[in-house]
Chains A and B, each alone.
Chain A
Amino acid sequence: MAASSTDPTQQLNDYIKTMHDQGILDDNFDQLLALRREQNPRFINELISMFTNDAEAYIAEITNALSLTEVDFSTIISKLHQLKGSTSGIGGHRMYQACCELRVAADDGDKDRCDELFLRVKEEFNTLKQCLDSISQMRSNIISNGTRSRRRRPL
């Protein structure tokens, strides 16, 4: 087994590449990283936190709409639209695909298929959330190591 890099930056690069290879992230995540250089160093972490909080809220609302005796497909479509949009913006490729499939089922008013496909959306969200949380943690470590280095510099 090849020795893994101990450089935190390289570890982060390698991790993101792996997420790309597995289809969890796509080029839209790279676009965030390109924006990162123009913004504060914690921008990516804040955006990830915003996305996951809002996604959890959308998922809760879709869960509720699906659980009604008379399924509220209108709410499902509305919340799924926003979930799909934010997922595409963050670069969550597999989750985005799962949302697209669920949208078709919701448009058809097919509750059974919605239930099945919504399970997949939630699974992909959990996978994406773990991935993004790992990226956030690695970035926090890089940023805090950088802060400690700057403090050690002589005045």
Chain B
Amino acid sequence: MTPTLPSGDQASDQDNWDNGRLAHKRQLLTEIILRNRLTALVVDGDTTCRVLEQLLFHSYGVQTQGVDNGRDAIALIASGVKFNLIIIDMILSVLNGLEATRQIRDMGVHCKMLGVTACSGESERQAFLAAGVDVFIEKPLDPEHLVPILRELDGQ
């Protein structure tokens, strides 16, 4: 089951509780308005992570596609679909994130790639950067990391 991604007018006006913690988080979600239509590919084998990452992108107006393994990511890119940004996890089924990243770069794809993974060791970071990601981010992907990258891609 995947949570549906409806339009904003379905938000409940009764479900309007808040607390002080949310103010800063919500501010980060609204502090950027993109001038251009950006697209992102999310490659993550875990459904919860993939849905969360796609929802975070949607909140900024970025259109996304999601796949759960490296092979499908390669196939999608090989079919000619272009993305401004690729988010990829390190450990994936079928074709792991490191090899998928190498193959994507070997295909001549030069878009921004973020390695977003639950691995936090320096050796993992170096391996992912060596494979071809531009930025290594320990999960979860958060607005603090994403907003500056989206601004850059949007030419702001």
Query: Footprint of B on A, CB under 8 Å?
Result: 9-10, 12-13, 16-17, 20, 27-28, 30-43, 46-47, 49-51, 53-54, 77-78, 81-82, 84-86, 88-90, 100, 139, 142-143, 145-147, 149-150
Contacts and interface: CB of A to CB of B under 8 A. Distances in A.
Contact of B15 (A35, A53, A142): A142
30 contacts: A9-B16, A27-B21, A31-B142, A31-B143, A33-B25, A34-B26, A35-B55, A35-B56, A38-B58, A39-B5, A41-B10, A43-B3, A47-B48, A47-B51, A50-B1, A50-B3, A50-B48, A51-B48, A54-B46, A77-B91, A78-B91, A81-B117, A82-B49, A85-B48, A86-B46, A89-B49, A142-B15, A143-B14, A145-B14, A146-B12
Contacts of B90: 81
A82 B48 CA distance: 9
A6 to B, nearest CB: 14
A104 to B, nearest CB: 10
B143 to A, nearest CB: 8
B17 A13 contact: yes
A85 B1 contact: no
Chain B interface extent, by class? 35 or more
Given A17-B19, A85-B139, 4 more contacts: A9-B16, A50-B47, A85-B44, A85-B89
A82 B46 contact: yes
Contacts of B91: 77-78, 81-82
B79 interface: no
A146 B13 contact: yes
A86 B49 contact: yes
Interface of B: 1-6, 8, 10-17, 19, 21-22, 25-26, 28-29, 44-49, 51-52, 55-56, 58-59, 89-91, 117-120, 139-140, 142-143
A51 to B, nearest CB: 5
A139 B8 CA distance: 18
Contacts of B15: 36, 41, 139, 142-143, 146
